[in-house]
Every structure is written in structure tokens, then in C-alpha cells.
Amino acid sequence: MVTTHNLGFPRIGARRELKFAQEAFWKGQITEEELQITGTDLRRKHWHSQRKLDRVPVGDFSFYDQVLDMSFTLGNLPERVSETGGSALDQYFRVARGRSGQEPSCCGVQAGEMTKWFDTNYHYIVPEFQQDTRFQLNADRLIEQINEARAQGLIPKPVIIGPVTYLWLGKSKDDSDRLTLLDSLLPVYSELLDLMSNHGIDWVQVDEPALVADLDADWRHAFSLAYHHLKTSRLKLLVTTYFGELRENLQMACELPVAGLHLDAISAPQEVARMVDWLPPHKQLSLGVINGRNIWRTDLGKTLDWLEQVHEKLGDRLWLAPSCSLLHVPVDLNSEEKLDPEIRGWLAFALQKLDELAILATALNQGRNAVRKELAESALATENRKTSGRVHNPSIETRIQAIRPDLGQRQSPYSARITAQQQKLDLPLFPTTTIGSFPQTRDIRQARLQFRKGTLTEAAYRQRIREEVSRCIDEQEILGLDVLVHGEAERNDMVEYFGEQLEGYAFSQFGWVQSYGSRCVKPPILFGDISRPRAMTLEWTRYAQSLTEKPVKGMLTGPVTILNWSFVRDDQPRRDTCLQLALAIREEVLDLEAAGVGIIQIDEAALREGLPLRKSDWSDYLDWAIEAFRIAANGVRDETQIHTHMCYSEFNDIIEAIARMDADVITIETSRSDMELLDAFRGFRYPNDIGPGVYDIHSPNIPDSEQIKSLMVKAAEQIPAERLWVNPDCGLKTRQWEEVIPALKNMVAAARELRERI
Ligand code: GLN
Ligand code: ZN
């Protein structure tokens, strides 16, 4: 019999119950006990829906983040937090969210740093290390949950982050080598395993996704060291890898002295055969055969075609699971009553994925006949999706075939373009602008909600947005900004807004996925060939331009960002989907240009986060991603100025690709890094205009003009003044008008003083 299990279940709840409880607790509206009750209820519910599995994951539930949980289990919390006292949960949230100095009880505490979990859109709290970091076991949470699951009559399989990945994910605060902590970390892991064994646990899932990353010799050595140390444990360890191929780490992984290994067969299908051959005969092999990263139904027949052969070889040694934790998909497709039934038939959320897993297991254990009906349904859905006219639009496929390299080529080089643009735009030195959005007031969001519910007519809603655009232009005129924007009041979200207007997109109602803490995103579903039936932003930009003599910058989201923040097709390469998006955005760019819009910004906020896990795969991704941007942007005349915006501060390793985009102006986030990041641009001799952010929009603080000026002076030491723009770090939609006005006033004043100085 094959064994079925799950690596992790989405914890946020089908109706985001956890989010609402967390936020209520933080606001003091519910007690700690009430929050705990929500947690217990959710866990019970989630285990109940996984009861068909042979083993259920335990410890995957978290009040904020599983990495932070591991830090607590290992007694590794920053001193600044442990010193503040309070309940364990208070301390936990203090690391997660920080505490402002304004709280009456005490002084401020800085939150732990947050960063992306591998190549997903989930963010974890980075463990902090120091040379003298000591660990101490605190397993109460895990033991409690083990008991809870067992009380439900289930077989618990605790999930922990393995010692090497735990260190790998963290950061040293004093420049010491965190790997040297392995020696003191391992005894605590042993203690934890022994404790679980005393509680009757037989298998523990030890997540070691660092095995799919580029590891140097020291880190590879750490793996064998760690698992030789833990070998003495009475438990069986299932070391899990996911999100990618093991490549040069595969043999080492196979040789680890553990009882089983999990391989993500979705992202590393070509490693399955090697794994089957190499894994010593006493080890179990768990295969992740259902995609835990996207929302498509599995072609069960096709999976069985290869899986049956593996099963024949491995017999009972075969375990089946989703490819990774289901944290990255929404909970239940059955909640989606508004989704088009045809498209719905192609989808599977977490619960449906577990059903698929059960069908595969039955087919292997009892033969395909035992699930004939289910397999037939899966085949039908696959066939339907493959041939649906809603997915395939031959004219778009032809256009993609017809793309030639010169499609993304500007007419003249930057040096010639910038002269033409200067002549037309006549901007002062240090031109001031913003990144696009202005405050999304409660009032705007309410109007949109009413419009969606049908209580506000479309005409009234549009009128409301026009008023907002007009207010935004007025404010910018008063402030004296040089390049204005319409303010993005009509946008709920920079990707969803475009998805809603493109053919080939569908939207879920409850398809929430945790991004971090209580923050969830609802990625739109890109299911088919992309086309743009009509202009998407033209009306708003045109209206804004009609209100002012100053240039209004058109505002679009770029193809790579739209791709990276959507659930996308798995039936064609990401590159092809991205190029389709690029063609659609290109049409919008050309429409804007034809309407007289002289400056067009194309945001690529998520370009960097699409980078593959392995450095050797970067250039392939960057090649098509940059090509897509160029196709979207570069069809314009010389005098039309293209801006792009990226809100992050690591450019060193991708600067050459950024330069290839050939945007006339790039605005970036720099205010918090004190302009250090400009080093990358200077070192590379980045040729085009740059707007280093001088106003940290993540903070309610209002920068004064001296501060802004000194940042710009720093910037001018690195980049010629005539190529510098003055702008905030990012869009202003999350800020209040009361903050934005004085901040921008100071920004404009700083720019004016700089002009006089030079
Ligand atoms: N134009 C967008 C805005 O201002 C850019 C947002 C982003 O980069 N995340 O909101
Ligand atoms: Zn940004």
C-alpha cells in the first residue's frame, strides 16, 4: 500500500478566519484566549478535511509564520524581544510585527526582518543569529498539537524545519559564520526528536528545501554532519525538499542517513527516475505528484502512466503527497459560486488537491478500475481545457510566433532620445514626480465596493473616480510637481485592475493565499490566451491630462509583474504567457502615445522576485522577462519617454539586465538604504535617467527637505545631476493625504533648492 500524506495545509482558513482573529487580537478587540480558540478550531477543521490521508501534518499551523515558530521552538528569539517580558504570544507577535515606541507600556521594539520564502510570494521572519546564540528547546506548541490531532483519531506527522535550512534561512547580526552554530543547534534538535518519540511519534517531516538551492561545500557538508548527528534518534525522519531540482545535491540527499526523502516531482520530474534508482532500498520515497503551487486540476491518468511504473519498483516504499505545502493555494474551490463553470472545471484548490491525491493512491493500491469514474472525470476536464476555445485563440498564437527581435527595439539610442524628449517636455533639472498612486481613501474604496455590489451605478462610480482624479491633479499642481500622475484611484490592485480588463483572466471570490502574517493576496487566474479587447487606462489618463498644462505620466503594470503576481497557465512556458501580456500592454502604450501622452511608466515591481532559485537559471529568465518588457515598452517614438519603477533595493546582480530594458527613466527604492544602492548603477555606468526614492513611503514619518536634499546630494556624487529625478520610493496609496502633502511639499522644495545650488 502506498502511504498518503500532506506537507502542510493553508492555515489562514477558507474565509480568512485566522486573519480576522489576528487583527482583532492586535487591536485588542479579542482576548488571547479567543485567538487561541480560533486557532484550535481551524486546526480541527483542517485535520478533519485531511482525515483520508494516512498521516496528517502537525505543527504546520501558525499564528504568524512557520519559521518564526521554529525560532521559538529552538528558543532563538532576539534579545531585544526576550528582554521585554509579557506572555509568550506577546513576545511572538513582537518579533513578527515589532512594537511602536508610542505604546504606553514600553519602548519600541524593532520587528524581525521579513523576506521571501524561496521563490514563492510567502514571506517569513528571518531568524537572527550571533556568535553567542544559544538554543533551548520549547516544544509545548508542537506537543499540544500532536495531542490535539491524536484526539481526533488521526496519525500525526509533525512538521519541522530542518537544522541546515533553519540556519541557511537566517542572518548573522554580527558577521559571524552562522554555520558554526550547527554544533550547538543539533543537540536541541535531538532533544526535540526524542521528546516527540516519547509522545509516540514514528515519522517526523523535516523540511530541508535548502537542498534545492546553490550550496557551497560547507553547506553541503553541514547536511551530512547534521543527519549523522540526528541518526541516533529513535524516530524516522522524512527529509523533504521542494520548489526545485536537487541537481548536484541529489546524490548527497540520497545518502543522508534518514528513513525517507520527499522529492517535488512537479518541479523536478526528471529527477524521479534517478531517485528511484539511487535511493537505498531501506528508504521510503515520497513523491510530490500534485502541484502545491498552482490551482490547476491534475491530469490523473497522465500522472498514473508514470507513477504506476514507479510503484511497481518501489511497492510499499512509495509515499504520495502534494509537491510542497498547500500553504500556497486557496482552500476550497467549492466556495467559488461565481466562477464560470467551464473554468471552474479545470481548477483544484487545497481540498480538491487532497481528493486527487486520494484517487491516485486508490488507483495504485487497488487498480485504476476502483476509481474509473474519477479518472474519467479528470480526463474529461483535461481534454476540455486542452481544446477549449476560451483558452486558445489562434490569432494570438500567430502573433507570438511572428515576434521578431526588433519588436522590442527603440528607434534611436537613449542619448538621441533624451534630447528629443527634453525638447518636447522642457523639464527643469531634478524633475519631481511620484510613482503613480495617491492615497486610496476609505471613501474611494467604499464607492468601489458599492459599485461591485450594484448599489452604485457605473455612471455614478465613474463620476466619483473622475472627481478623485481631478482632486489629485489639483493637489499636484499646488505642490508644484513637474510630472503629474492621475493617481490610480480606479485601481484596487495594480495587477487585478489589468487582469479584469484582459481576455484570458478569471477571478476567484475566496482564492486567498497568505503572503505574510495576516496579509493575504488573491492572485487572478490567467487561464487562456491574452488579448486586450479595449483600452484599459486611456480614459483616466486623458481626463487627467485635460485638467493640466503639465505632463501627465501614463501608468501601466508591466508584463513580468502581471505574470509573477497571477496564477498562470501550466500548459505553456511562462515565457509565452509573458509575451502575450507584453503584446497587450504594448497596445495600451501605443494607444496612450497616440492620444498625446508623452510619458508612460510601466511598473515592474515583481521583476526581481521572479528570479529562479538557481543562479545558473537566471539568464534564461532575465532574457525573456526583459524581452517582454521591451516589447511592451519600446514601440514608441523617440520623443515619448518611457519610465519604469521597481520597488526594491537589490540591483547589483541584475543591473545589466535592467539596463537592457532601456527605459528612459527608472525610479527605484533607495531612501532607507541611504543611496547605497546607487553604487550598483554607478559601478555599471548605468546609462539612462534614475529617480532614487527620497521619501520612505512605508513609514508615516514626513521627511524634511534637508534630509531629502542631503540624499540627493549623495546621489549626485554618484550619478550626473542632469540624469537624476526626485521622487518617493513607491506609490502613495497606503498613506494619508495629511502625510503625503507635507512630504511632497518638502520634496519639491528640496528639488528647487538643489537647482539653485547647481
Ligand atoms: N504605480 C504603482 C503605485 O504607485 C506602483 C506600485 C508598486 O510598485 N508596487 O502604486
Ligand atoms: Zn514600488
At 447-492, the pLDDT tens digits run: 999 999 999 999 999 999 999 999 999 999 999 999 999 999 999 9
pLDDT for the residue 98: 82
pLDDT for the residue 754: 97
At 541-556, the pLDDT tens digits run: 999 999 999 999 999 9
Query: Could you report the predicted ipTM of this complex, rounded to two decimals?
Result: 0.99
Q: Between the CA of residue 281 and those of 228, 256, 313, 613, what are the distances in Å?
A: 19, 13, 10, 30
Among 603, 644, 649, 735, name the best residue to mutate to test ligand 1's pocket (greatest count of ligand atoms within 8 A of Cβ): 603
Is 256 labeled as ligand-binding? no
DSSP string for residues in 95-150: HHH-B-TTSSSS--BPPPPEEE-TTSS-EEEPPEE-TT-------HHHHHHHHHHH
pLDDT for the residue 104: 44
**Residues acting as catalytic residues:** 698
Q: Is the dihedral of CA 412, 416, 418, 422 positive or negative?
A: negative
Which residue puts its alpha carbon closest to atom 6 of ligand 1?
731
Long-range contacts of 655-659 (CB under 8 A, 24+ apart): 655/680, 655/681, 655/683, 655/684, 655/686, 656/684, 657/622, 657/625, 657/626, 658/686, 659/684, 659/686, 659/687, 659/688
CA distance 516 to 287: 27
pLDDT for the residue 319: 98
- Positions of the chain with pLDDT lower than 70, given as ranges: 100-107
pLDDT for the residue 675: 76
CA distance 527 to 199: 46
Is 308 labeled as ligand-binding? no
Is 18 labeled as ligand-binding? yes
Which residue puts its alpha carbon closest to atom 10 of ligand 1?
731
Which residues lie closer than 8 Å to 95 by C-beta, 6 or more apart? 68, 71, 77, 78, 81, 111, 112, 125
CA distance 595 to 589: 10
Ligand nearest to the CA of 668: 2
The neighbouring-strand residues paired with 503 are 531
Ligand 1 atom at minimal distance to the Cα of residue 437: 4
At 286-336, the pLDDT tens digits run: 999 999 999 999 999 999 999 999 999 999 999 999 999 999 999 999 999
> Judging by beta carbons within 10 Å of its beta carbon (0-12, 13-18, 19+), is residue 141 exposed, middle or buried?
middle
Ligand 2 centre distance from Cα of residue 744 (Å): 16
State if residue 437 touches ligand 1 by the CB under 6 angstroms criterion: yes
